[in-house]
Amino acid sequence: MGEPTQILSLALQPPSKVDVEKAVTNLKELGALTVTCGGVVNPADGDLTFVGSLLEALPISARLGRLILLGHVFDCLEETVVIAAALSQRSIFTGLFNNEMKAYRSKIGWMERTSSDCIAVLFAYKEWIRLQKVGYFSTSKRKEASWCSDNMLHLNGLKGVADTVRDLSTRLARFRIQVQRDLANTEMNKTDILILKVVLCGAFYPNYFRWGVGDEEVNRRLFCGHNHCTTVMLAGLPANGPKYAGDICTMFSDCVEPRADLRGKALHFDGSKVFVEFEQKKQRGRQAVLDSVLIALKKRQMREPLALYIAENIPETLKFRPPEETGEEVREDFSSDVAEIKPVREK
């Protein structure tokens, strides 16, 4: 038939030769084509491999197909099929125009400290399937839609993922690759999650970034010795910063979760800067960025205004919100320039 560039040149709107060669190179990197064509090395063509035949049979992109193949090799086939099905269509997470922070907080909850959107999709889908199997949604017609709304999920998106999973399972069975394990009753430990992350890296290589190694000394000076995994910094504070401790606490009140392992936050003032430090009850084996820090950084990404009302000739009590309004218990110690805030748990 000839090389791909020759065949595609006959199209009504033929692609450029460079683009075709890049596509062939990508297919060779994925293992869909061999380096040689008919036993002769050819950079513009190659013979179709078994992997290529499998990828051609799947109604998803080549990289998502490779994700499934790597999942089969590393014994996490069912998880990768769900992730590939979810990534092949619109997101199952809702994005409220007027409440983006609520949607982001919900997604962080599904991540379960993995910092992975793909794994968040997997956990959300698994929970939806589990509730279906135990009959949780059978008591009311609107219960399923209500659950999805509360958890910021698209019900139609979840159903679309389920349909795609069934389609992929049928197509894989033709190649004697069986999707058998029941995800609804499968628990993933830290090792399983680590293996899944490695598979994700291998599937999307080189389209991912690597965390750079920061300068520990620079970070220590910038954060004045505070842990950057549990602390955010605000600059440009007016004079007498501790007077505005209540307002600053209110700014970040939605970042503190009474549930989970957070017990509040503390403010440390240093001139025109304030360090908002979120605390956790117990130390983990490996230090990870707290969810509260991620939510606070999301505020900055959304460019939410963090403004303080400064007035000179008003009573000091007007600069603070009373605990009855905020639902929080504020303790201030201006002698040490530290103010602590703790969420009041529901009784």
- C-alpha to C-alpha distance for 169 and 163, rounded to whole angstroms: 10
Same domain, 70 and 192: yes
Same domain, 77 and 176: yes
**What's the domain count of the chain?**
3
- C-alpha to C-alpha distance for 17 and 203, rounded to whole angstroms: 26
Is 93 among the domain residues? yes
Query: Can you list the residues of the chain whose pLDDT is less than 70?
Result: 1, 96-98, 210-217, 219, 256-265, 280-287, 304-305, 309-347
Range of the domain at 125: 61-204
Please report the pLDDT score of residue 73 as a whole number.
94
Same domain, 273 and 181: no
Same domain, 147 and 17: no
Same domain, 178 and 268: no
Is 101 among the domain residues? yes
- Of 183, 204, 225, which marks where a domain is finished? 204
- Of 164, 181, 204, which marks where a domain is finished? 204
Total-model pTM: 0.75
Please report the pLDDT score of residue 264 as a whole number.
54
Please report the pLDDT score of residue 300 as a whole number.
78
**CA dihedral sign, ordered 113, 117, 119, 125:** positive
Same domain, 157 and 256: no
Is 240 among the domain residues? yes
Same domain, 245 and 331: yes
Residue 57 near residue 174, CB atoms below 8 Å: yes
Same domain, 70 and 160: yes
Is 54 among the domain residues? no
Is 76 among the domain residues? yes
Same domain, 235 and 280: yes
Is 39 among the domain residues? yes
Is 56 among the domain residues? no
Please report the pLDDT score of residue 331 as a whole number.
41
Please report the pLDDT score of residue 114 as a whole number.
84
Please report the pLDDT score of residue 254 as a whole number.
73
For residue 278, what are the contacts with CB-CB under 8 A and spacing of at least 6?
A: 230, 231, 255, 256, 262, 264, 265, 290, 292, 293, 296
Same domain, 193 and 221: no
Please report the pLDDT score of residue 214 as a whole number.
61
Same domain, 175 and 296: no
Please report the pLDDT score of residue 323 as a whole number.
44
Is 137 among the domain residues? yes
CA 105 to chain centre: 10
Please report the pLDDT score of residue 129 as a whole number.
94
Same domain, 89 and 178: yes
- C-alpha to C-alpha distance for 67 and 111, rounded to whole angstroms: 19
Residue 296 near residue 232, CB atoms below 8 Å: yes
- Of 204, 239, 258, which marks where a domain is finished? 204
